[in-house]
């Protein structure tokens, strides 16, 4: 493999990682928005629908996060977890 092919593969992996991160962040945001709309407006009740919508969106986001593995800057960090001296 040439260095050009390696660079293309790395760029493609970074794009996929960015799309995964965007999807997870979008689901967390949707959950927060559903809860806030239920709390602030009379569009639907907060107690059953708002909390269930928030909970289901966050469960889906955490499930995707577990399936994808770590996404974002912590996924590409080669440093050890414990850096305390």
User: pLDDT by residue (tens digit) across 4-39?
Assistant: 888 888 888 888 888 888 888 898 888 888 888 888
Judge whether 37 lies within some domain: yes
pTM metric for this prediction: 0.65
Judge whether 39 lies within some domain: yes
Judge whether 74 lies within some domain: no
How would DSSP label each residue in 25-68?
HHHHHHHHHHHHHHHHSSSS-IIIIIHHHHHHHHHHHHHHHHHH
Share the mean pLDDT of the chain.
79
pLDDT, residue 85, reads 47
Structural domain of 34: 24-67
Portion of the chain with pLDDT greater than 90, in percent: 1
* Domains: count for the chain: 1
């Amino acid at each position: 493999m040439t260095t050009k092919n390696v660079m293309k593969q790395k760029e493609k992996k970074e794009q996929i990682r960015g799309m995964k991160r965007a999807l997870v962040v979008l689901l967390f945001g949707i959950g927060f928005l559903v809860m806030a709309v239920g709390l602030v407006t009379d569009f639907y009740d907060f107690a059953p629908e708002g909390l269930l919508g928030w909970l289901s969106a966050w469960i889906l986001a955490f499930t995707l996060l577990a399936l994808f593995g770590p996404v974002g800057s912590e996924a590409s960090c080669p440093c050890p977890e414990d850096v305390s001296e």
